[in-house]
Structure 1
Amino acid sequence: MSNRHLFLKSGFLKTPAQNGVGRYICQLQRVVLKFCKNHGSSRGLRDFVEKELVNFARENPGTVVYLKPRRHRAPVIVAEYLNGDRQYINCYSYTCEEVTKWLNLLKTQTGTNEGIRLRKLWHTDHPSIQGPWTPYTFRDPALNLANFPNEELGKPLHQTQSATEKLLEIFEKQKRNIKDLETNRE
């Protein structure tokens, strides 16, 4: 095991952990496209602004897009996320398609930096060395070699009758009890 994680910043996850379980919330809040109007290295970003920007803005109404023309500077995409993180992408001599791919990637990310060690809300002094428990932890290894469907493995373990048979038995018992009550009244 390496100790690389000791030199990383540590922190808690700031984005919703189950984003998309109920309703998906895009974490990309703002995109700033910085480019030069004349320089050749900004051609791909300028082409994106002319051809694809309107479609991108229509497809992502929750993301604000700013254009910032600058003289004699390299083109840059700045993405700002809901958790406050910023991500910079240098777009020097990118094509329009590459800019589109980068924006789609930024749109689907959560904005968390990869250079952060995530901390958990629980702690133990004696962590398990056996690994996490799974439903297959104590299963018979012979199941790995079984051919399915297998009638022997499909037999119920504890139940001798089906649920339908059990319901029919309860219904018949209730009918008998009702008849017994009626005969006792007479």
Structure 2
Amino acid sequence: MALRGVWQLQKLIVSYCDWGGSSKGIRAFMETHLLAFKEKNPQLEVVTELIRGQHPHLKGSYKNHNQRVVCVKNLMPEDVLLHATRLRNALGRKLRAIKHTAWFGGAVSESVMLFAAGILCISTIIFVRYNG
């Protein structure tokens, strides 16, 4: 993804094994889709790396010096292309949990319900006492 018009992924490293069966999909990806992917993304440096005896993976290096590694063992070439595109579209920020404030948490809504139920009980008791 581009942040202010600048693509954040600088380098994509395609690591594979020329012998292992788990690299079959990434080898097919390199034969069919990699050249077109390079042509569509001239801002991106794409490097292939032969690592024997290891499962294949894609490693993305971003401008903010973060890296993301995606294991692509036993995937089809289209799935490898999908993961490469997702790495390209990512901003490279670290993944973190979304923090919820107290206004949106379950505890506040439960206490509001209990407060409303308490008013309802008090008003019912007062109504019964005055009418009874």
Shared fold by TM > 0.5? Answer: yes
What are the Cα deviations for residues 137-171 of structure 1, in whole angstroms up to 9, with x where unaligned? xxxxxxxxxxxxxxxxxxxxxxxxxxxxxxxxxxx
- Mark the runs of 5 or more structure 2 residues left unpaired by the alignment: 104-132
Question: Which protein has the larger Cα radius of gyration, Structure 1 or Structure 2?
Answer: 1
Q: Which has the higher helix share?
A: 2
Which residue of structure 1 lines up, in the alignment, with residue 75 of structure 2? Answer: 94
RMSD of aligned residue pairs (Cα, Å) = 2.2
For 1:1-150, list aligned pairs within 5 A: 19-20=3-4, 24-115=5-96
SS in 2 for 1:61: coil
Which residue of structure 1 lines up, in the alignment, with residue 124 of structure 2? Answer: none
Which residue of structure 1 lines up, in the alignment, with residue 114 of structure 2? Answer: none
Shift of 1:112: 0.1
Mapped partners of 2:97, 2:50: distance in 1: 33
TM-score, normalization: structure 1?
A: 0.50
Q: Identity over aligned residues, as a percent?
A: 24
Q: Which has the higher strand share?
A: 2
2:49 maps to amino acid? K
Moved segments of 4+, more than 2 Å: none
- Mark the runs of 5 or more structure 1 residues left unpaired by the alignment: 1-15, 118-128, 130-186
1:113 maps to amino acid? K
